[in-house]
Amino acid sequence: MEKFFNAVIKHRKIVLAMFLIIAALCAVLSLQVSVNYDMVDYLPKDAQSTKAIKIMEEEFDSNMPNARVMITNVSILEALEYKEKLSKLEGVRSVSWLDDIVGLDTLKTTPLEFLDPSIVKNYYKDNNALMTLSIESGKETTTLNAIYELIGENNAVAGEAVNTAKAQEMSVTEVLNAMAILLPIVIIILTVATSSWIEPLLFLSAIGIAVIINMGTNIIYGEVSFITQTVSPVLQLAVSLDYAIFLLHSFNDYRLSNEPKEAMILALRKSLPTVAASAATTVVGFAALLFMRFGIGSDLGLNLFKGVFLSFISVMVFLPAITIMSYRLIDKTRHRSFMPDFKKTGNLLMKLRIPFLILALIVVVPSFLAQSNTRFEYGMGVVANATRVGKDTRYIKEKFGEENILVLLVPKEDTGKESELCDELSRISHVRSVVSYVTAVGAEIPREFVPKEVSGQFYSDNYARIMLYTDMEEEGEDTFNTVQAVFDTAARYYDTYYLAGQSATLFDMKEVVSADTKRINLVAVMGIFLVLLVTFRSLSLPALLVFTIETAIWINLSFPYFTGTSLSFLGYLIISTVQLGATVDYAILFANNYLSNRKNLPKKNAMLKTIEDNLTAVLISAVILASAGLALAITSNNPIIADLGTLLGRGTLLSLVMVALVLPALLVLFDRIIQKTTLNGKFYNNQL
């Protein structure tokens, strides 16, 4: 590596030019990376709801409705005119209304009071017409704007596609808003932590270029999820700044007795193992996300994995080059240190270590049990309740009540069996009405005598389609119980059946995620345990370090249970790996320095020196990462992103508390065991 480091310093102008060119190219490429806002696309292909949607597309030449439009104060004929106009809008694949169920001629010629009221009330009530639309994926924003223009302010539109459109609108602005909050905080923190006004800009330039390159190289994936698009740049910046800080601090130390170029070579040599170990633990945490069957985990995991690697390269190559080119400017912009002296703090923390260890042992079991029983949300809910999206959703609910449509697909067999199934389905809790051929037309009427536009709504060549209008929420215990009841009922009549609809999709997500949770947590813990095992060549230290951070994670995730609130399942899954991978570095730093100090000092003195020497570095890193979480929580109207931000901010601070107050007690308490279980460890003999 010595030759490589020398080459970087020697050809620093070429290195700088190459990075700038690559970053400029990637900035352009990042605009070509499409963003996927549909979480359904990330379900496993063998999920039953995924199969149901595919069957509907192939057999019925239609898509699952993902939006509802309510037109107020209209007659039947006026509603039909609106339907015609809506169907012609770009991005609208289909529009369904009452005429598709009873037939257009019947609707025009038959008084409403002679039609089945249990069917009519789902589509037309008090001169208000409620239509269901299927909006093409990727065109939600432009289509929604066209719908708004057509229906005006007095009518309403809501649904999954509307939430997606709002999320698309917010995606780019939320990243910029989060950065607008985070960057000033980071600059202030780095200014306080460094001795030059220019150094914070060098840190941010090194990691900023890595973030841009990471976003541009996403072109190899074709598209990324909206979670990745929003979260990844902020997380990459927050978790990677440590690498740059450590390198420049080492450089400044070596500058005291060496020429700049030689000082940088020495700093690179010293920093490489530490930065590599830190990056490795972070990467292992992110890599655990790849083991999720739910595809968003792999999407985010791959992106962060690549991002941390690029940050590592940037710090080891770009930062040395630009630092050597600007060291004179660094010298000219020196200022006095603004960091407080933590020597008295070290004594205080040493006195508090036992009480905090006892407190941690008291809360660890309840926290573990509580986080295991947290109530999750699997959808996005209504994005931005204060906007028109939220108002329209409430308006439709006021007029037509809570409406949640499920579509059951069963083999096309005899109408008698279908009629029995529909009767039993109608008795399930929360099912308001069942609309099928046998309920809308009649089992006794042959299909040949019914207009094709009507029979085609219910039958394909192989399947019968049954629509269930329910009054349940999009998700929740009652909702999932109702979905399970539909499955159980269909199973009594048919061997093959599929259920589509947002609640059916979320039910599948729940099933997939339940298995994912245990798997990725186990993979993350085992992976980081092995990294720590290799790093410290000790059996006991990895256990103590993982226990320290895992306790912080359990406490963090127990908050929703104790406060009676629900938690986004994606926030839960991601934070379990991100908090472990990103904050275990604090524990590694403490443990590594403790072992170094133990060679020459008794255990308590060694720990006191460890706290005094390293608390500043850990504090800076933790505040930056917590600020990143806070920025996401404050700026995002998307509940998934906001939850993740809250968890990241709170979790980082909890990890800081555990490392600063509990880990010292564990290391001192288990000092003798650490000696016996550490390979080639050297310890000061005089025990205190």
pLDDT tens-digit map of 7-61: 888 898 999 999 999 999 999 999 899 888 877 788 888 888 888 888 888 887 6
Using the structure block, give the residue that is written with the tokens 């009652």: 478
**pTM for the whole thing?**
0.80
Q: What is the DSSP string of 50-64?
A: HHHHHHHHHHSS---
CA distances 297 to 245, 508, 606, Å, are 29, 16, 41
d(CA 458, CA 101) in angstroms, rounded, equals 9
Confidence (pLDDT) at 688:
45
CA distances 667 to 237, 533, 608, 663, Å, are 31, 16, 12, 6
Per DSSP, 375 falls in state: -
CA distances 70 to 89, 159, 358, 380, 601, Å, are 16, 11, 59, 22, 76
CATH topology classification for 393-506: Alpha-Beta Plaits (3.30.70)
In the three-class reduction of DSSP (H, G, I as helix; E, B as strand; rest coil), residue 518 is classed as helix
In the three-class reduction of DSSP (H, G, I as helix; E, B as strand; rest coil), residue 223 is classed as strand
| Structure-block tokens of residue 441 | 């037309």
Please check whether residue 526 is in contact with residue 433, taking contact to mean a CB–CB distance below 8 angstroms: no
Sequence-separated (6 or more) residues with CB below 8 Å from residue 39: 225, 296, 379, 380, 505, 509
Confidence (pLDDT) at 370:
92
d(CA 401, CA 393) in angstroms, rounded, equals 10
d(CA 576, CA 651) in angstroms, rounded, equals 10
d(CA 473, CA 470) in angstroms, rounded, equals 9
The domain covering 1-32+194-337 belongs, at the CATH homologous superfamily level, to Multidrug efflux transporter AcrB transmembrane domain (1.20.1640.10)
Per DSSP, 593 falls in state: H
The distance in angstroms from the start CA to the end CA of the chain is 41
Question: At residue 234, what is the residue type?
Answer: V
d(CA 463, CA 381) in angstroms, rounded, equals 31
CATH assignment of 339-373+537-688, among 1.10.10.60, 1.10.3210.10, 1.20.1640.10, 1.10.150.120: 1.20.1640.10
CA 647 to chain centre: 11
CA distances 101 to 155, 300, 440, 467, Å, are 23, 43, 7, 11
d(CA 286, CA 639) in angstroms, rounded, equals 22
- 1-32+194-337 and 339-373+537-688 share one CATH topology? yes
Using the structure block, give the residue that is written with the tokens 């790093």: 535
Per DSSP, 401 falls in state: -
Which of these, 145, 638, 168, 130, lies nearest to 405 by C-alpha position?
A: 130
d(CA 63, CA 90) in angstroms, rounded, equals 15
- On the CB side of 436, how many CA atoms lie within 13 Å of its CA? 27
d(CA 314, CA 307) in angstroms, rounded, equals 10
CATH assignment of 64-165, among 3.30.70.240, 3.10.180.10, 3.90.1150.10, 3.20.20.80: 3.30.70.240
Confidence (pLDDT) at 380:
65
Mean pLDDT in consecutive groups of 10 residues from the start of the chain, 688 residues: 84 93 95 84 86 85 81 92 92 88 84 84 90 86 91 89 78 74 84 84 91 94 86 84 84 86 89 82 82 85 91 93 90 79 76 90 93 80 64 87 86 87 91 86 77 79 89 86 94 92 88 79 85 86 92 92 84 77 84 88 89 85 87 80 86 92 92 87 67
β pairing state of 34-36 and 223-225: parallel
Per DSSP, 384 falls in state: -
Please check whether residue 285 is in contact with residue 524, taking contact to mean a CB–CB distance below 8 angstroms: yes
In the three-class reduction of DSSP (H, G, I as helix; E, B as strand; rest coil), residue 465 is classed as strand
Sorted by where each begins, the domain ranges of the chain are 1-32+194-337, 64-165, 339-373+537-688, 393-506
d(CA 601, CA 233) in angstroms, rounded, equals 42
Confidence (pLDDT) at 306:
93
d(CA 41, CA 50) in angstroms, rounded, equals 8
By residue count, the chain amounts to 688
Sequence-separated (6 or more) residues with CB below 8 Å from residue 6: 265
Confidence (pLDDT) at 71:
94
Please check whether residue 92 is in contact with residue 47, taking contact to mean a CB–CB distance below 8 angstroms: no
Sequence-separated (6 or more) residues with CB below 8 Å from residue 244: 202, 203, 206, 207, 315, 319
